[in-house]
Amino acid sequence: VQLQASGGGLVPPGGSLRLSCQSSGPSMTTFGIGWFRQAPGKEREWVGCISNKDGRPYFADFVKGRFTFVRNTFKNSAYLQMNSLSPEDTAVYYCAVDKGLLDGMDCSDPDEYDAWGQGTLVTVSS
């Protein structure tokens, strides 16, 4: 599976972005999908995931209802819609897929994922 993440850019505080994760290989329809981010000088952290075990989204606490997931099966893509962005959200964002069964309780573990996109930079600044 080869993943392409895109949609990053510069956005003012309070703004929105939609990040895209597209697969050039097998359909992502049945995959578990995760999003992670890495801010400058910090370790990678989990943002959220869509479990393919129960179909539910799971988010890190810092998201606080600001982000949502969208799947587009026709385009073989998944999206991370991010609203109410703050400078603390500035980071390189990565998507990843688990071709097996991704349990929501485990989806914050990077080792659960089989393939990763290359990352897309999100900068939140005025």
| pLDDT tens digits, 84-119 | 999 999 999 999 999 888 888 899 999 999 999 999
For residue 18, the model assigns a pLDDT of 97
φ, ψ at 76 (rounded to 5°)? 50, 50
Q: What is the mean pLDDT of residues 62-66?
A: 94
Look at the block and give the residue holding tokens 């606080």: 64
For residue 1, the model assigns a pLDDT of 80
Which DSSP letter does residue 15 get? -
Q: What is the mean pLDDT of residues 28-50?
A: 93
Encode 26-58: b = buried (16+ Cβ within 10 Å), e = exposed: eebeebbbbbbbeeeeeeeebbbbbbbeeeebb
Q: Is there a contact between 11 and 124 (Cβ–Cβ < 8 Å)?
A: yes
Angle at alpha carbon of residue 51, lines to 37 and 116, rounded to 5°: 40
Give the residue from 17, 13, 77 showing the smallest Cα distance to 47. Answer: 17
φ, ψ at 93 (rounded to 5°)? -105, 135
For residue 73, the model assigns a pLDDT of 75
Please enumerate in sequence order all residues whose Cβ is within 8 A of that of 62, keeping only pairs 6 or more positions apart, or say none: 88
* Backbone torsion region of residue 107, taken as left when φ is above 0, otherwise alpha when ψ lies between -120 and 50, otherwise beta: alpha
Give per-residue pLDDT as tens, 11-35: 999 999 999 999 887 778 789 999 9
Is residue 52 predicted with pLDDT exceeding 80? yes
